[in-house]
């Protein structure tokens, strides 16, 4: 009889965290231009193959464009804007750009804004006059609030269906891990923010779990929330209920101050990073490729899990159904015919797997833990 060790109990306890975690390799594209040493946002123009970014701490009311070699192209000042703490940029399908001046590190600001640059990509005037959205939080009455309530910072924004969707950067102590999802019309005016949804990024370390950027794919089927050493990919959501979709967590190979993310295709993303003096990696533009096929399959498998089974002796008896075994990434690794009654796991390393059983009437998934 094979005994379950303490380490195997830890494996069991960590199963759900492991299911949601994959590693995403980042390839360096270029160094960001010197004008963007505090890059805090990123937008990729798919028509012209040009990148846009902005600084969050130099207090200049301007943003910049550059190419994939890191060569600076142009600077775009906004004549009626101030840069208190610019943190995000996004655009709609009509060429209007939105810049979020809603960074709020101390949770004490009462002048939060979003600048609207109508049809920016159509003319790119040398000096731009912005329309303005002014924001306040329904739930904030103290500036700053107590440490346990400091969830009024913001660094993530996307455009979807005539609205701007904002995601909070959590600065609570003790850290709760909650990011709030807010929605406002993408029109100039004064708006009060009230959460419509939330997501717990988990963990006790804010540097590895707070949300610092967001991006929506061109086909509007994938949402990314970015952090310093990981990101969360949401898919299979309905309408704008992004945080209710299937979520996959991607770990980056290293922690750095990544703050900008943008899709170039439905499965290709770029990530920008601030320059931090003395850091081993900084000031780069990265590219990553997403495997959306396995991500979608993984989401369906997780949704249909009905039970969990431990495999301790390398063999598992199954029902007389067609059966498929998937790895943690949602990739098919074995298919077993209905007449086969026992599955051999002798060649499988210890880890977590999905077993999908397909009958005439339904499909169900068993979570398998081999130790």
Rounded Cα gap, residues 314 and 329, in angstroms: 21
Is it true that the peptide bond before 195 is cis, omega within 30 degrees of 0?
no
Residue 162, pLDDT above cutoff 80: yes
Domain boundary among 290, 315, 350: 290
Rounded Cα gap, residues 304 and 29, in angstroms: 39
The confidence score (pLDDT) of residue 279 equals 83
Residue-range definition of the domain harbouring residue 326: 300-370
* Same domain, yes or no: 185 and 84: yes
Helix (H, G, I), strand (E, B) or coil at 320: coil
CA distance between the termini of the chain: 13
* Same domain, yes or no: 317 and 219: no
User: Exposed/middle/buried for 291, CB within 10 Å: 0-12, 13-18, 19+?
Assistant: middle
Question: If you average pLDDT over residues 303-312, what whole number do you get?
Answer: 81
Is it true that the peptide bond before 174 is cis, omega within 30 degrees of 0?
yes
Nearest 5°: CA angle at 70, between 66 and 76? 25
* Same domain, yes or no: 276 and 311: no
Render pLDDT for 32-63 as a digit per residue (tens, 0 to 9): 999 999 999 999 999 999 999 999 876 799 99
State the total domains in the chain.
2
Q: What is the CATH number of the domain that holds 165?
A: 2.120.10.30
Residue 9, pLDDT above cutoff 70: no
The confidence score (pLDDT) of residue 351 equals 84
pTM flag (> 0.85): no
């Amino acid at each position: 009889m094979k005994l379950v060790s303490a380490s195997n109990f830890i494996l069991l306890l960590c199963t759900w965290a492991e299911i949601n975690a994959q590693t995403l390799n980042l390839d360096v594209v270029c160094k960001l231009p010197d004008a963007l040493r505090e890059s805090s946002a990123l937008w990729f123009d798919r028509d012209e193959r040009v990148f846009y970014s902005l600084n969050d701490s130099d207090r200049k009311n301007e943003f910049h464009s550059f190419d994939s070699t890191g060569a600076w192209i142009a600077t775009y000042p906004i004549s009626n804007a101030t840069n208190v703490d610019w943190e995000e940029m996004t655009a709609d399908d009509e060429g209007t750009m939105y810049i979020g001046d809603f960074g709020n590190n101390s949770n004490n600001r009462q002048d939060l804004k979003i600048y609207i640059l109508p049809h920016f990509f159509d003319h790119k005037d040398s000096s731009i006059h912005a329309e303005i959205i002014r924001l306040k939080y329904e739930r904030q009455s103290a500036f700053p609030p107590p440490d346990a309530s400091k969830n009024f910072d913001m660094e993530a924004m996307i455009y979807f269906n005539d609205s701007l969707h904002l995601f909070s950067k959590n600065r609570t102590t003790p850290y709760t891990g909650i990011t709030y999802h807010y929605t406002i019309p993408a029109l100039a005016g004064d708006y009060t923010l009230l959460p419509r949804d939330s997501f717990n990024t988990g963990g006790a370390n804010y540097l590895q779990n707070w949300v610092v950027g967001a991006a929506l794919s061109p086909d509007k089927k994938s949402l990314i929330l970015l952090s310093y050493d990981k990101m969360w990919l949401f898919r299979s959501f309905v309408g704008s209920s992004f945080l209710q979709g299937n979520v996959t967590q991607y770990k980056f190979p290293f922690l750095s101050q990544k703050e900008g993310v943008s899709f170039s295709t439905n499965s290709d993303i770029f990530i920008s990073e601030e320059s931090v003096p003395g850091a081993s990696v900084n000031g780069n533009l990265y590219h990553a490729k997403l495997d959306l096929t396995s991500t979608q399959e993984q989401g369906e498998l997780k949704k249909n899990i009905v039970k969990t089974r431990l495999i301790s002796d390398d063999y598992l008896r199954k029902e007389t159904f067609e059966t498929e075994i998937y790895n943690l990434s949602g990739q098919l690794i074995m298919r077993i015919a209905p007449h086969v009654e026992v599955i051999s796991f002798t060649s499988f390393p210890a880890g977590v797997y999905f077993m999908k059983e397909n009958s005439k009437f339904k499909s169900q998934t068993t979570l398998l833990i081999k130790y």
